[in-house]
Amino acid sequence: MAGRARRTTPLSALGLSEGDAVIVYLQAPKEKMWGLLLSLQAAGIVLRCIDLAAFDDWMRQEARGDEPYLGLTTLFYPMGRVERMEKDETLGPISSYSARFAKEVGRSVQQVLGLEPERE
């Protein structure tokens, strides 16, 4: 289709796709959330997320197989609260939160949440 501009979505323009793990920095009040990106629109973002301060506790709970008392919640944040968002990626020797979770728990976040089949 020569002459036609390729349409990009906000997610693809950022190198993201639905289900990618991200860290979102919020303002008023200040919060940091880790989660799976469900939607990015001009009005705001939808995440299946947990407060970054509770991530390690949730990871240990899943690793031990404890009864769940922590977990991810689906939330909408208006764009006015979003200060920045970054993809949860491993950088050099520093593992991403997703990679740390998979190493500690033995399953990916997506498997724990039932979004991906268990590997045998």
Other beta carbons within 10 angstroms of residue 47's beta carbon come to: 24
Residues 91, 86: Cα–Cα separation, whole Å: 12
pLDDT in tens, the chain (120 residues): 455 556 666 667 778 888 899 999 999 999 999 999 999 999 999 999 999 999 999 999 999 998 888 899 999 999 999 999 999 999 999 999 999 999 999 999 999 888 776 666
**Considering only CA atoms, which of 97, 12, 82 is closest in space to residue 45?**
82
Query: Can you list the alpha helix ranges (DSSP code H) found in the chain?
Result: 10-13, 55-64, 97-105, 109-112
**Considering only CA atoms, which of 58, 38, 41, 39 is closest in space to residue 98?**
58
